[in-house]
């Protein structure tokens, strides 16, 4: 608003708003149909879809939006239903990943609300049911995540487009899912191995996890799936990758900083949550490599320790700052942001698509939540 006059929306914002509205409506219809199926099994089972719907309703919808603008940049029509279904499938895959990730990371909160396994645990406790509430919550959330993953696949399989274009997009979609599972396992493995015996290569391993667990499926694959559905030639898909992969890495590196330094009121998670979970991120790898023996000992002793208090979190944050690791990660983010920006400038896009991707990129890199 300027001088009391509401700011006018741009054509890009109007188009993006229409897509988001279509995405919300399509997701609601799809999940409503799934709820009806579950009702034929038992009304008790519909809570699985309820949990999925609550989770899918939140978030910034970055992946569906990248898919949409990848589609538009390759010549796809603005009002096509197929790209909406593709965006919905990506959002359901993201929701499934979040449900399982919160279980693996023992995270009690997601976007400021109880995570799905905690919602089911509370349901057990409120009902006064038998046996262990925590076990019930974890088991029910695994099933909700599995159902969400299955629904993501079902949605993608329903996309109506030219067979060769669907096949091209399907190949990217399939690879994306495999890479995320492998990246998630490597992340879990890195935590389990614990204190690193080769700190000089830990950062490279952590960067590999960043790439396959998050970066490619957050930005590169959604953009390329949209492009492939619209019939993008290999040269355009390669250009999309050149832009989106460094963007995705910057996005996840920012997330790693937020996991240690983020404001709980904005992130929806406790301060220093990654430290409590023992995350062996690029930030931690660089701190361990650059720090003194005493600093490394303090970090390794604190990471992943149950009941880590706020004063201890603050102490670990100060150690990381003192090693220069935070500044190094900020430099990595800036370098990848620059690489991504230069690649975007080289893409043969109309101004509308270029502006949309530029706005999404800026939001991904500078976010505070």
Question: Would you say residue 2 has pLDDT above 60?
Answer: no
Angle at 174 between CA 171 and CA 176, to 5 degrees: 105
The answer for residues whose C-beta is within 8 angstroms of residue 90's C-beta and 6 or more apart is 63, 64, 67, 152, 222, 225
Under CATH, which architecture does the 11-366 domain have?
Answer: Orthogonal Bundle (1.10)
pTM: 0.94
User: What is the distance between the alpha carbons of residues 237 and 245, in angstroms, rounded to a whole number?
Assistant: 12
Question: Would you say residue 191 has pLDDT above 90?
Answer: no
Q: What's the CA dihedral at 369, 362, 100, 190 to 10 degrees?
A: -100
Question: Would you say residue 6 has pLDDT above 80?
Answer: no
Question: C-alpha 312: how far from its chain's center?
Answer: 28
Break the chain into its structural domains and give their ranges.
11-366
pLDDT at residue number 22: 97
pLDDT at residue number 170: 98
Q: What's the CA dihedral at 261, 263, 264, 269 to 10 degrees?
A: -40
| pLDDT tens-digit map of 122-176 | 999 999 999 999 999 999 999 999 999 999 999 999 999 999 999 999 999 999 9
For residue 190 the two structure tokens come to 């890195």
Element spanning 114, H or E: strand 113-114
| pLDDT tens-digit map of 347-367 | 999 999 999 999 999 999 998
Please, are residues 120 and 136 in contact by the beta-carbon 8 Å criterion? yes
User: What is the distance between the alpha carbons of residues 206 and 222, in angstroms, rounded to a whole number?
Assistant: 22
DSSP H stretches of helix in the chain = 11-41, 47-57, 62-73, 81-105, 116-127, 133-157, 163-193, 199-209, 221-229, 234-261, 264-267, 273-277, 282-290, 293-302, 310-323, 325-346, 351-366
pLDDT at residue number 196: 59
pLDDT at residue number 8: 58
pLDDT band at 1 (very low <50, low <70, confident <90, very high): very low
Please, are residues 221 and 229 in contact by the beta-carbon 8 Å criterion? no
pLDDT at residue number 195: 66
Question: Would you say residue 263 has pLDDT above 80?
Answer: yes
| pLDDT tens-digit map of 44-93 | 999 999 999 999 998 899 999 999 999 999 999 998 999 999 999 999 99
User: What is the distance between the alpha carbons of residues 305 and 94, in angstroms, rounded to a whole number?
Assistant: 28
């Amino acid at each position: 608003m300027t001088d009391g006059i509401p700011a006018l929306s741009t054509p890009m914002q109007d188009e993006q708003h229409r897509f988001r509205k279509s995405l919300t409506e399509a997701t609601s219809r799809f999940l409503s149909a799934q709820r009806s199926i579950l009702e034929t099994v038992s009304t008790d089972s519909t809570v699985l879809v309820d949990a999925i719907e609550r989770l899918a309703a939140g978030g910034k919808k970055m992946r569906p939006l990248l898919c949409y603008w990848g589609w538009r940049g390759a010549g796809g029509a603005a009002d096509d239903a197929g790209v909406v279904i593709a965006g919905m499938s990506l959002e359901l895959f993201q929701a499934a990943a979040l449900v399982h990730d919160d279980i693996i990371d023992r995270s009690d909160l997601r976007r400021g609300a109880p995570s799905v396994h905690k919602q089911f645990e509370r349901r057990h406790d409120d009902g006064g049911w038998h046996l262990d509430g925590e076990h019930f919550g974890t088991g029910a959330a695994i099933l909700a995540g599995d159902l969400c993953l299955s629904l993501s696949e079902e949605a993608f399989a329903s996309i109506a487009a030219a067979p060769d274009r669907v096949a091209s997009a399907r190949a990217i979609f399939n690879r994306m899912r495999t890479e995320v599972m492998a990246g998630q396992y490597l992340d879990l493995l890195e935590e389990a191995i614990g204190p690193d015996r080769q700190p000089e290569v830990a950062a490279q391993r952590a960067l590999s996890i960043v790439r396959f667990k998050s970066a490619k499926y957050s930005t590169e694959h959604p953009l390329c799936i949209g492009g492939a559905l619209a019939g993008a030639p290999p040269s355009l898909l390669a250009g999309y990758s050149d832009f989106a992969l460094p963007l995705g890495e910057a996005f996840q590196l920012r997330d790693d900083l937020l996991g240690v330094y983020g404001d709980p009121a904005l992130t929806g998670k406790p301060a220093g949550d990654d430290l409590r979970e023992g995350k062996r991120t690029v930030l931690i790898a660089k701190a361990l490599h650059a720090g003194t023996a005493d600093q490394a000992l303090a970090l390794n002793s604190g990471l992943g320790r149950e009941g880590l208090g706020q004063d201890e979190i603050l102490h670990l944050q100060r150690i990381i700052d003192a090693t220069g690791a935070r500044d190094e990660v900020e430099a990595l983010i800036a370098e990848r942001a620059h690489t991504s920006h230069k690649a975007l400038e080289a893409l043969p896009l109309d101004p509308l698509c270029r502006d949309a991707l530029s706005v999404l990129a800026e939001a991904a890199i500078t976010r505070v939540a």
